[in-house]
Amino acid sequence: MLADALSETLQSLDNTAKSANRPVPRLLAVSKTQPAEAVAALAAVGQCAFGENYVQEAQIKARALAALNLEWHLIGHLQSNKAESAAEVFDWIQTVDRHKLVVALSRYRAADCPPLNVLIQVNIDDEASKHGCRPEEISALAAAIAAEPRLSLRGLMAIPAPHADPGQQRTAFRRMKTLFDELAAHHPQIDTLSMGMSGDFPLAIAEGATMVRIGTALFGARAPKPSPTA
Ligand SMILES: *Cc1c(COP(=O)(O)O)cnc(C)c1O
């Protein structure tokens, strides 16, 4: 049951944070590929923040569930030509990695909405195939975001490359925490370091994640094979 999965996950975040002597992170429930009904079921037991990878998929669910007042986060790559819809649908964009997006999001965020919360996505393992800015680009992007009244700079996000060796996995999270602390020295209002997924959240929490993004551990595996009918 989703309610059980939620309480087990929250308990696990709590235990991990306490044993690592860290604050308990916020849970972002990653609802990509899940139907609106599954989101509503989690919302009914108290979960209010949901992460989606695609603008259009989120738009459909957010409209269907508008009455629930949920908080929607974009955690997938954002193309500039989708910035207008993204600025309308989401409360948070976790994947801002270039100046062009800063300009587009701020242009399209409606004046009667609260400022759009923004995280800068960092390509922490310098993978050619991954989105995210390089660490040395963070401070200029942060300054551009902070200068836009329609945007609110909240912190950093990363999707480190999976490492079989937990020590190496930890290193990427630790480097993110260092970058976060350096950014906070110039932007003391930032409060969010989004890192850690179902497979690696304990390491991320131990290194200082303030938000973890969890899909599989909550909803079960995505795109399950159809069950045999015979
Ligand atoms: C899918 C996804 C997650 C959740 O992954 P799980 O392994 O299912 O917990 C977290 N972050 C991002 C960016 C994702 O795309």
Distance, CA of 124 to CA of 146 (rounded, Å) = 22
Coil, helix or strand at residue 221? coil
Q: List residues near ligand 1 (CB under 6 A).
A: 30, 32, 53, 75, 159, 197-199, 213-217
Question: Which residue's CA lies nearest to atom 6 of ligand 1?
Answer: 215
Listed in sequence order, the residues at least 6 apart from 113 whose beta carbon sits closer than 8 Å to its beta carbon are: none
The alpha carbon of 63 and the centre of ligand 1 are apart by a number of angstroms equal to 22
Question: Can you state the angle between helices 166-186 and 138-146, rounded to 10 degrees?
Answer: 40
Dihedral in degrees, nearest 10, Cα atoms 133, 176, 208, 211: 10
Q: In a structure prediction context, what are the per-residue pLDDT tens digits for the chain, which is 230 residues long?
A: 899 999 999 999 999 999 999 999 999 999 999 999 999 999 999 999 999 999 999 999 999 999 999 999 999 999 999 999 999 999 999 999 999 999 999 999 999 999 999 999 999 998 887 899 999 999 999 999 999 999 999 999 999 998 888 898 999 999 999 999 999 999 999 999 999 999 999 999 999 999 999 999 999 887 655 555 44
> Has this prediction a pTM greater than 0.85?
yes
The alpha carbon of 42 and the centre of ligand 1 are apart by a number of angstroms equal to 17
The domains of the chain are located at: 2-219
Distance, CA of 25 to CA of 47 (rounded, Å) = 14
Listed in sequence order, the residues at least 6 apart from 22 whose beta carbon sits closer than 8 Å to its beta carbon are: 205, 206, 208
Q: Which atom of ligand 1 has the smallest separation from the CA of 32?
A: 1
CA angle 41, 82, 27 (to 5 degrees): 35
Q: Which atom of ligand 1 has the smallest separation from the CA of 53?
A: 15
Please report, in angstroms and rounded to a whole number, the separation of the first and last CA atoms in the chain: 25
CATH class of 2-219: alpha beta
Mutate to test the pocket of ligand 1, among 122, 176, 213 (most ligand atoms within 8 A of CB): 213
Mutate to test the pocket of ligand 1, among 75, 169, 192, 205 (most ligand atoms within 8 A of CB): 75
Q: At residue 160, what are phi and psi to the nearest 5 degrees?
A: -60, 155
